[in-house]
Amino acid sequence: MAHRSGLSFRFTHAITRTPANSVSDGIRAVDAGDPSGEKFRQEHELYVKALQEAGLEVTVLPSLEKFPDSCFVEDPAFCLPEGAIQLRPGTASRIGEGAAIRAALDAAFGQVVELPGKGHVDGGDVLMLDDVILIGLSARTDREGAEAFAKVLAEWGYKAEVCETPDGVLHFKTACSTLGEGVILATRVMAESGFFGDRKVVVVPEGEEYAANVIRVNDVVLVPEGYPKTLAAIEEAGFRTVVLPTHEARKVDGGLSCLSLRFAG
């Protein structure tokens, strides 16, 4: 795969979904209390506004009460300039989310394919860089799914590598993000993993590990509110930032990247 400058952060469009009241029944690894649908929607509106101000045309899909985690649209699909790949989330309660978002994918892309086989991949385990796509194995992404996904990516001309996500990390991107320009933001355990080769890695300060999940959108980096040391580290690395509240998303293991599918149309 040739280096494609800006592939991982130059976008024109995004798809999001309004959080449902049923998000209080969402999946979580640790009980930090139930998120409020109303407060989550308020945070989500700020998120959508930030994407728009970064230059994106944003499609906001209606809430789905039937699927508590459906606002995390990143998990059931993966988008590239050539088209979208419908993924298969690794949690039974989320399987139907793929069919629910298919119409939006068909409207945005000329080509939409489904993940072959019976394996599982959550989009939260897929980190797109400008020269490689990393797929992390986790409780939600198995080897069968990861290898099938890598094969589709290879057919589309992309290099993919399957990685053994460190123990204790929910999703690969729970603990790392791309800041663009060959720079990675990562927790210490991920920074020491060897996944990122000779790229520059900005290490998230101890105690602020949640803030490893940020998103670079064109000329800004969206950063979760409440992590001043990480914010300072990103800015010191030369990036412009926008801070957003993610308090409700965090209660159900969500972060900034989970809440949108971003792509160049």
Check whether 45 has a pLDDT greater than 80: yes
Number of domains into which the chain is organized: 1
d(CA 243, CA 86): 30
- Whether residue 250 lies inside any domain: the answer is yes
On whether the CB atoms of residues 241 and 223 are closer than 8 A, the answer is: yes
Three-state SS across 48-70? Answer: HHHHHHCCCEEEEECCCCCCCCC
**pLDDT-based confidence at residue 27 (cuts at 50, 70, 90):** confident
- pLDDT recorded at residue 170: 85
**What letter represents residue 121's amino acid?**
V
User: For residue 92, what are the contacts with CB-CB under 8 A and spacing of at least 6?
Assistant: none
At 224-264, the pLDDT tens digits run 999 999 999 999 999 999 999 999 999 999 999 999 999 99
Which pairing describes strands 83-86 and 176-180: parallel, antiparallel, or unpaired? unpaired
Average pLDDT estimate for 155-164: 96
Q: Domain residues for 156?
A: 13-167+246-263
At 119-142, the pLDDT tens digits run 999 999 999 999 999 999 999 999
Beta-ladder partners of 137: 164
**pLDDT-based confidence at residue 39 (cuts at 50, 70, 90):** very high
- Whether residue 126 lies inside any domain: the answer is yes
Check whether 151 has a pLDDT greater than 90: yes
Of 165, 144, 125, residue with least CA distance to 253: 125
Average pLDDT estimate for 61-79: 97
Token code pair at residue 151: 């094969």
CATH number of the domain where residue 45 is located: 3.75.10.10
Specify whether 176 is catalytic.
Answer: no
- Name the strand (E) or helix (H) holding 89: none
Specify whether 247 is catalytic.
Answer: no
Cα–Cα distances (Å) from 158 to 11, 50, 96, 239, 251, in that order, read 18, 29, 28, 27, 34
On whether the CB atoms of residues 41 and 16 are closer than 8 A, the answer is: no
- Locate the DSSP E strands across 19-148: 57-61, 77-80, 83-86, 112-114, 126-128, 133-137
- pLDDT recorded at residue 119: 97
Check whether 48 has a pLDDT greater than 80: yes
Active-site residue identified among 71, 79, 176, 258: 258
Active-site residue identified among 79, 171, 176, 247: 171
- Whether residue 91 lies inside any domain: the answer is yes
- Whether residue 55 lies inside any domain: the answer is yes
- Whether residue 27 lies inside any domain: the answer is yes
Average pLDDT estimate for 189-212: 96
- Whether residue 230 lies inside any domain: the answer is no
Which pairing describes strands 160-164 and 133-137: parallel, antiparallel, or unpaired? parallel
- Whether residue 62 lies inside any domain: the answer is yes
Token code pair at residue 244: 């957003």
- Whether residue 29 lies inside any domain: the answer is yes
